[in-house]
């Protein structure tokens, strides 16, 4: 399903600013903060970005990743494959990971507790290899 089809299905208009925010998220390899989005799109105020992200969240277009006191945003399935992150607390890089073992564990836990898992988030915080070398020197 395309972005315009999702908007049409839910009775929303796909405006130029909404499309541009979607494109910024689509072209990013890492999750972005509202500030990151604002830097990439100078002609829109932060209120409009927040409103767009609320709509995107309601329509399940984005995932919100909570790291520390900040929210990061990235596209959700079907726009990008399901994944999780290793987040470096030093350089703030969020490395996407897709461990099959984690998905098996989520499935196992759901079955063990007779629970239907509809959504899950898994983020690991620590220090990446690059920063570890800097810190150890």
Q: Binding-site residues for Zn(2+), please?
A: 88, 91, 128, 131
Q: How far is residue 100's CA from residue 68's CA, in Å, rounded to a whole number?
A: 26
Q: In this structure, are residues 84 and 123 in contact, taking their beta carbons and an 8 Å threshold? A: yes
**Positions at the binding site:** 82, 88, 91, 103, 120, 128, 131
User: SS3 helix, strand, coil % of the chain, rounded to 5?
Assistant: 45, 20, 40
Quote the tokens at residue 25: 């998220």
From the list 118, 120, 136, the residue with the least C-alpha distance to 128 is: 136
**Positions at the binding site for Fe cation:** 82, 103, 120
Q: How far is residue 137's CA from residue 75's CA, in Å, rounded to a whole number?
A: 37
From the list 24, 28, 30, 25, the residue with the least C-alpha distance to 128 is: 30
């Amino acid at each position: 399903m395309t972005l315009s089809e999702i908007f049409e299905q839910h009775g929303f208009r796909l405006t130029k600013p909404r499309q541009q925010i979607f494109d910024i998220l689509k072209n990013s390899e890492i999750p972005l903060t509202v500030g990151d989005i604002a830097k990439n799109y100078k002609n829109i105020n932060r209120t409009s970005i927040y409103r767009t992200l609320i709509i995107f969240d309601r329509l399940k277009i984005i995932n919100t990743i909570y790291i520390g006191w900040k929210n990061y945003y990235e596209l959700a399935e079907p726009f990008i494959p399901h994944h999780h992150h290793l987040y470096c607390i030093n350089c703030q890089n969020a490395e996407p990971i897709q461990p099959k073992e984690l998905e098996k564990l989520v499935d196992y836990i759901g079955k063990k507790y007779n629970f239907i898992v509809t959504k899950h988030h898994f983020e690991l915080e620590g220090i990446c290899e690059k920063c570890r070398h800097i810190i150890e020197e």
